[in-house]
Chains A and B, each alone.
Chain A
Amino acid sequence: MRDASGRPGRVALWVTCLVDQLFPQVGEAAVAVLRRAGVEVDVPLAQTCCGQVAFNDGFWPEAARLARKFLNDFGGAEAVVTPSASCATMVREFYPLLLRDDPPAAVRARDLAARTYELTEFLVDVLDAGDLGARFPHRVTCHASCHSLRGLRLRDQPLRLLRAVRGLELRELPGLEECCGFGGMFAVTFAALSGSMLHAKMAAVEASGAEVVTSTDCSCLMHIAGGLSRRGSAVRAVHIAEILAAR
């Protein structure tokens, strides 16, 4: 149901497999933030994985199977919101490509893509949210994931929300447009290259003077956090939903 201004009053939260299984606190934070912004949240429990892992690695038949499942799990939702720019990009940009040999599914995918949003994008572009009452007294730098930057073309949305957080000091991240080196299976298949990119990103994070690095993507953050922990850094990685939910 949409309210008078045409805003969806109810959204389906797509937690993503990674958040669901390893970072449930991010899912909880997303729920809290959305509720604070005045929308009701559903979590379709049949949801699993959008297929991005298989798709990016070239296993398209496997990915297409998961994509069709995703369309069934979320097909009826008024709006789908996810705390992952990379997964949102998968549905928005790549489902039509992946499903091109199955025209009815491709049509459904296009239709769903128009209702699928990354969390900060939904908050800012759809709900026009700014101050959500959060308080997070730390120096924070925001890693713009490649998918948020180039897949969804998010520029100011995450920053606008972070700037409204009480006590938060936003630090610019040098080399913002450079990839952190995660890239799914790339981190495994080309581990040394990925590791070298990670090192450059960690150096940039530390050079920013931040205590916390945040992002719209749990996958990049898991990789960066793993690197920071390995090098014994004091910087913590925290998903943007958690910051926006903090009080």
Chain B
Amino acid sequence: MRSVPIDFVRASEAALADPVLHASVRRAMVRFRDLQRAVIEEVPDWQALREHAHRVKMHTLAHLDRYLEQLDERVTAAGGRVHWARDAGEAQRIIADLVRARGGRAVVKSKSMTSEEIELNTALQAAGCQVVETDLGEYLVQLAGDRPAHLIAPAIHRSTEEIARLLADRLGVPVHDDPAELTRTVRRVLRRTFLSADVGITGVNFAVAETGTLVIVENEGNARLTTTLPRMHIALMGVEKVIPRLADLAVFLTLLPRAATGQRLSSYVSWITGPRRPGEGDGPEELHLVILDNGRSGIAADPVMAEALACIRCGACLDVCPVFERTAGHAYGSVYSGPIGAVITPLLRGLDAAAQLPFASSLCGACGEICPVRIDLPRLLLELRARVMSRGWSGPMERMFVRGWTAVMARASRLRVAGRMARWALRALQGRRVLPYPLSAWVRYRDLPAPPADAFRDRWQKIRSSGGAQP
């Protein structure tokens, strides 16, 4: 895990310097938004569904121990094995040991942001395994030696041309500009990999405590191959993925594809309860479920922040976020980018590692409005800002500015005097580009307002006595 604090300001400015990047992301996001809007509008009780999903998640988080125990029990009863990992290192070790015990060399992976979070690939490679991502976007990102930029569209920051060149370079295939042909090429390569893999690793979208069923939602069918072809399936989930009952799934399976990809249904929803049973035609011989904490139980116990764990990783908040649109995700310095990343990364890694992230938002509120589980993201950002500042982590200029502002605003008489000085200064500074903080940053993109001769409060007596409608 990195310990250098995430420098969002620097990283976002670097991303902004690449207009092609912004254009690629923008195009994809606008398409997502349109699709999402259309399928969300056709659900008449969308708001009620979000509310319901929110309640189920919050209830589960409040009784996390109970449901996780139940899940453990049911998965075990179905013939699976459950492993508990307190942190990333423990999860890496557990999984590497499982792979080694199986004599595994070749590992296929599908659908797991959590494995990115714990940097599983690096650990497995260090243990001598070959790990191949099988979801198209993840595969491309892996091939490029890059990191995913979006929760469900990991290669959103790459243009078709870049991808064509990448495949030509690495796989020795001709350069194609037809996305369908590119997909076919990758498929051909991956089919062989699937057949030779010893172990399949996936994430989990929902884990049903009542039945021990692991639910995986996807569109490409790779998770299905990953969980059926290799002899061992290892599923990795964060503790927050548990839900109480099968009956709760209906709501989540309505919300997730609509918010994620603007689809009514996902192409594949796999329900996995235990490994292959005698007489069954396919499925792994061994099923292992690794349940990862990595800071989550601390978040669940935090009455203000627990809400962040309700996230179902649909990516919708990223798709509507003007900041994400311009940074293409990487500036957030974590697999979790966009508004949810700005909330969850400081919670998972500690505020000192990511103190800038909660501020990386204009608080426009679009994320909170779209979130299918109704997480109040702007409020969580504000709460985190307050925590950062209460530890005195502001810049000294900023602190001086806000403290000074507050002191002036504490009395109208002070405001009158300070306002007069500010207007005088504004007049003197018109047209200047080299200015003290915070005006320095303002004039990079904007001119200063031209100040009036006097304040409204100075005119009020006259306006009041005029009494008429015409000022």
Residues of chain A whose beta carbon lies under 8 Å from any beta carbon of chain B? 15, 17, 19-25, 27-29, 31-32, 35-36, 43, 45-49, 51, 53-63, 65-66, 69, 94, 97, 146-147, 149-151, 177-179, 181-200, 222-223, 225-227, 229-230, 245, 247
B458 surroundings in chain A (CB, below 8 A)? 24
If A58-B389, A229-B447 touch, does A196 touch B16 (CB 8 Å cutoff)?
A: yes
Which B residue sits closest to A182, measured CB to CB? B362
A65 surroundings in chain B (CB, below 8 A)? 406, 410
Which B residue sits closest to A35, measured CB to CB? B469
Question: Measured between alpha carbons, how far is A58 from B59 in the docked complex, in Å?
Answer: 29
Closest 6 CB pairs of A and B: A183-B362, A226-B446, A58-B385, A195-B445, A179-B364, A58-B389
Is A66 a contact of B409 with CB atoms below 8 Å? yes
Report B373-389 CB contacts with A as 1/0, cut-off 8 Å: 00000010010011111
Is A60 a contact of B471 with CB atoms below 8 Å? no
Q: List 10 A-B contacts (CB under 8 A).
A: A21-B456, A22-B451, A24-B459, A35-B468, A49-B405, A57-B385, A183-B362, A185-B438, A187-B442, A200-B322
A147 surroundings in chain B (CB, below 8 A)? 365
Residue of A53, A54, A61, A191 ringed by the most chain B CB atoms within 10 A: A191
B398 surroundings in chain A (CB, below 8 A)? 57, 185, 189
Query: Nearest Cβ distance between residue A38 and chain B, in whole angstroms?
Result: 10
Query: Nearest Cβ distance between residue A136 and chain B, in whole angstroms?
Result: 15
Is B455 at the interface (CB under 8 A from chain A)?
yes
Which listed residue (B360, B364, B460) contacts A190, Cβ 8 A? Answer: B360
A177 surroundings in chain B (CB, below 8 A)? 366
Question: Measured between alpha carbons, how far is A209 from B400 in the docked complex, in Å?
Answer: 42
Is B463 a contact of A146 with CB atoms below 8 Å? no
Is B409 a contact of A49 with CB atoms below 8 Å? yes
Is B449 at the interface (CB under 8 A from chain A)?
yes
Q: How many A-B residue pairs have CB under 8 A?
A: 214
Question: Measured between alpha carbons, how far is A25 from B456 in the docked complex, in Å?
Answer: 7
B382 surroundings in chain A (CB, below 8 A)? 55-56, 58, 94, 97
Is B471 a contact of A186 with CB atoms below 8 Å? no
Is B444 a contact of A191 with CB atoms below 8 Å? yes
Question: Measured between alpha carbons, how far is A50 from B442 in the docked complex, in Å?
Answer: 22
Is A193 a contact of B402 with CB atoms below 8 Å? no
Pick out which of these stretches binds chain A: B240-248, B282-290, B415-423. Answer: B415-423
A196 surroundings in chain B (CB, below 8 A)? 16, 22, 326
Report B104-138 CB contacts with A as 1/0, cut-off 8 Å: 00000000000000000000000000000000000
Query: Nearest Cβ distance between residue A203 and chain B, in whole angstroms?
Result: 12
Is B446 a contact of A230 with CB atoms below 8 Å? yes
Question: Measured between alpha carbons, how far is A150 from B363 in the docked complex, in Å?
Answer: 10
Is B389 a contact of A28 with CB atoms below 8 Å? no
B379 surroundings in chain A (CB, below 8 A)? 97
Which B residue sits closest to A149, measured CB to CB? B365
Residues of chain B whose beta carbon lies under 8 Å from any beta carbon of chain A? 8-9, 12-13, 16, 22, 322-323, 326-327, 358-366, 368-369, 379, 382, 385-390, 394, 398, 402-403, 405-406, 408-412, 415, 419, 422-423, 426, 437-438, 441-442, 444-449, 451-452, 454-460, 463-464, 468-471
Is A58 a contact of B368 with CB atoms below 8 Å? no
B12 surroundings in chain A (CB, below 8 A)? 190, 192-193
Question: Measured between alpha carbons, how far is A199 from B360 in the docked complex, in Å?
Answer: 18
Is B471 a contact of A32 with CB atoms below 8 Å? yes
Is B412 a contact of A48 with CB atoms below 8 Å? yes
Is A197 a contact of B456 with CB atoms below 8 Å? no
Is A24 a contact of B454 with CB atoms below 8 Å? yes
Which B residue sits closest to A24, measured CB to CB? B456
Which listed residue (B437, B451, B457) contacts A45, Cβ 8 A? Answer: B457
If A28-B463, A196-B326 touch, does A188 touch B442 (CB 8 Å cutoff)?
A: yes
B452 surroundings in chain A (CB, below 8 A)? 22-25
B385 surroundings in chain A (CB, below 8 A)? 56-58
Is A186 a contact of B441 with CB atoms below 8 Å? no
Is B322 a contact of A24 with CB atoms below 8 Å? no
A200 surroundings in chain B (CB, below 8 A)? 322
If A28-B463, A146-B365 touch, does A66 touch B406 (CB 8 Å cutoff)?
A: yes
Question: Measured between alpha carbons, how far is A101 from B365 in the docked complex, in Å?
Answer: 25
- In addition to A43-B456, A191-B444, A192-B444, 4 A-B residue pairs with Cβ atoms within 8 Å of each other are A31-B463, A57-B385, A58-B394, A59-B402
B422 surroundings in chain A (CB, below 8 A)? 21
Question: Measured between alpha carbons, how far is A187 from B445 in the docked complex, in Å?
Answer: 9
Is A193 a contact of B327 with CB atoms below 8 Å? yes
Is A17 a contact of B409 with CB atoms below 8 Å? yes
Which listed residue (A56, A60, A151, A227) contacts B446, Cβ 8 A? Answer: A227
Question: Measured between alpha carbons, how far is A22 from B448 in the docked complex, in Å?
Answer: 11
Is B409 a contact of A225 with CB atoms below 8 Å? no
Is A19 a contact of B446 with CB atoms below 8 Å? no
Which A residue sits closest to B355, measured CB to CB? A58
Which listed residue (B8, B322, B389, B419) contacts A178, Cβ 8 A? Answer: B322
Residue of A60, A178, A189 ringed by the most chain B CB atoms within 10 A: A189
Query: Nearest Cβ distance between residue A177 and chain B, in whole angstroms?
Result: 7
Is B405 a contact of A20 with CB atoms below 8 Å? no
Which B residue sits closest to A29, measured CB to CB? B471
Query: Nearest Cβ distance between residue B388 and chain A, in whole angstroms?
Result: 6
Which B residue sits closest to A73, measured CB to CB? B412
If A45-B460, A56-B382 touch, does A197 touch B322 (CB 8 Å cutoff)?
A: yes
Question: Measured between alpha carbons, how far is A188 from B464 in the docked complex, in Å?
Answer: 37
Residue of B362, B464, B468 ringed by the most chain A CB atoms within 10 A: B362
Is B390 a contact of A60 with CB atoms below 8 Å? yes
A47 surroundings in chain B (CB, below 8 A)? 412
Which listed residue (B368, B386, B445) contacts A194, Cβ 8 A? Answer: B445
A28 surroundings in chain B (CB, below 8 A)? 456, 459, 463, 471
If A17-B409, A21-B423, A196-B16 touch, does A150 touch B368 (CB 8 Å cutoff)?
A: yes
Question: Measured between alpha carbons, how far is A184 from B363 in the docked complex, in Å?
Answer: 9
Query: Nearest Cβ distance between residue A64 and chain B, in whole angstroms?
Result: 10
Question: Measured between alpha carbons, how far is A30 from B448 in the docked complex, in Å?
Answer: 24
B361 surroundings in chain A (CB, below 8 A)? 183, 186
If A226-B448, A229-B447 touch, does A59 touch B406 (CB 8 Å cutoff)?
A: yes
Is A181 a contact of B406 with CB atoms below 8 Å? no
Is B363 a contact of A223 with CB atoms below 8 Å? no
Is B412 a contact of A46 with CB atoms below 8 Å? yes
